[in-house]
Amino acid sequence: MKKWVLGNWKMYKTFGEIQSFCNEFNNLLKKDKLVTKAEIVVGIAPTYVGIIPFGSCNKTTTLTMAQNANAEQQGAYTSEISFNMLKELSVRMVLIGHSEVRSHLHETDATINKKVLTLLKENMIPVLCVGETLQEFEANKTIEVLNQQLHDDLANIDTSNVENLVIAYEPIWAIGTGKTATTDVIEKTFVEIKKILKAILNSNADKVALLYGGSVNEKNAPEILRVKNVGGVLVGGASLDAKKFYSIIQSIPEYSQAKVK
C-alpha cells in the first residue's frame, strides 16, 4: 500500500519564498529514486495564490494540493474556487475538513460531506481531516467524536469508490502546539478508526489510507511512522523547510527498505 507524506503550508510563503523552497527541494528530491521505488506519495498544499507558482517551479514528482475548495462548480460564491478550477491547474488532491476550517470558517459536517462526495465523483483525492479538542480528549470522548465525524463526513458514500480516499487524524490539541500524541495514543486511536471505517465502508475500509497529523516534525516522524496502521503523515510547520520535509520523507520505513534492496 502507498505511503503518504503531505505538507500543509497554511497561510505562508510568498512567490519568492516558494521559488526558494522549490530550488532547494528540487535538488534534494529529483534525483532520489527511492521515493518512487518505495511508493511514497509526496504532496504539498500551498495557498490558492501559491498553487500556480509551486506547480511551475516544482520539478519533482511531488503533487500540488489545495487546502480547500467549494463543492459547487460555479456560482455566486465570492472568495471561493471550485474543484473544476483546481483540476485545470493539475491539482488532484484537496484537504477537506481541516480543524482550522471547521473552527474559523464554521464549516459543517454536511458541507464537508458534500465536498468529499464531489471529489470522489470527480476522481480527485480528498484528504479528510478529523480530530478532537483537548477538552474532548481529556473527557475520554475521542472515539465518540471521531465516530460522529466519520459517519457524518462519509454519509452516502459509494463504498466501492474509496481507493482515492485519505483520512488524516489530527488531534486538534496537537496542531501547532508542539504537543504530539504519544505513539500509544496514536496506535489505540487508529485501531478504533479502522473499526469505525469497517462499519461504514465494510470490506473496502482497508483501501483507505490513514495518516497522522499534529506537530509532526523531522524528530518525531520516525517513531510515528512505525506505529501500526499509520500509512503516512500530514505535516504542518515542518513542511515549510525543504530539508526538514525531505528528512520526514526519508523516515518512511519503506524508504529504508528500498535503500537496502
Active site residues per annotation: 98, 170
* Strand-pair partners of 66: 94
C-alpha grid cell, residue 99: 480543524
Neighbours of 248 (CB within 10 A): 27
- Residue 43: φ, ψ to 5°: -145, 150
From CA 173, how far away is CA 72, in angstroms rounded?
31
Cβ atoms of 146 and 130 closer than 8 Å: yes
Helix (H) or strand (E) run with residue 107 in it = none
Cβ atoms of 127 and 65 closer than 8 Å: yes
3-state DSSP assignment of residue 127: strand
From CA 54, how far away is CA 86, in angstroms rounded?
13
